[in-house]
Amino acid sequence: MALSNEILKQRLTEQFGEQLTEWEEPYGMLTFRCPADMNLKVLQFLYDDEQLRFRFLTDLTGVHFPDRKEEELSVVYHLHNLADNVRIRMKLYVPVGKPDVFTASSLFSAANWMERETYDFFGVNFLGHPNLVRILNVDEMDYFPMRKEYQMEDPTRIDKDDEMFGR
């Protein structure tokens, strides 16, 4: 029997119950929310389960939601079951004051650099990561550039003519 979103949701609900929430299917990809302290348990289950077999980490990134109190930072995982060609998305949220998430680098070796990049740009602290240092920005940076904490450009500049830029 082919692996469907209904089977995926059923298997995850059997294993984790009501702890997984916000089930959606944008563009046909099953998406759900996981508590931040359970990310490794859920990822391990998705990897180990012989019916699910999500053994390829396609992407791991962060998102900053400055208006969501106590869950300003999100970590998003995209996993792929190569045998059945099925994808799944898992989201979790952490406060910007304590952005701690367990590392998945022991489960997916590709998570090593993806987690470093997410740390570098969003400031998510991946607990247990073997080398959580900046990967693209200079070590001296004391801020995280992908957070929405600064205006994109100075609205008071008078030396720019927007007509020259097609705006």
Q: What count of other Cβ atoms lies within 10 Å of the Cβ of residue 130?
A: 11
Separation of alpha carbons 17 and 23, rounded Å: 13
User: What is the tally of helices (H) and strands (E) in the chain?
Assistant: 3, 7
pTM: 0.88
User: Count of domains in the chain?
Assistant: 1
- Please report whether residue 23 resides in a domain: yes
Domain with 90, as residue range(s), is 5-102
- Please report whether residue 152 resides in a domain: no
- Please report whether residue 59 resides in a domain: yes
- Which residues are paired to 75 by β-bridges? 62, 92
**pLDDT tens digit at each of 167 positions of the chain:** 689 999 999 999 999 999 999 999 999 999 999 999 999 999 999 999 999 999 999 999 999 999 999 999 999 999 999 999 999 999 999 999 999 999 999 999 999 999 999 999 999 999 999 999 999 999 999 989 999 987 777 777 767 666 666 65
CATH number at residue 49: 3.30.460.80
What are the CA-CA distances from residue 33 to residues 2, 23, 41, 83, 119 (Å)? Answer: 24, 7, 13, 24, 20
β-strands 56-64, 73-81 pairing: antiparallel
- Please report whether residue 165 resides in a domain: no
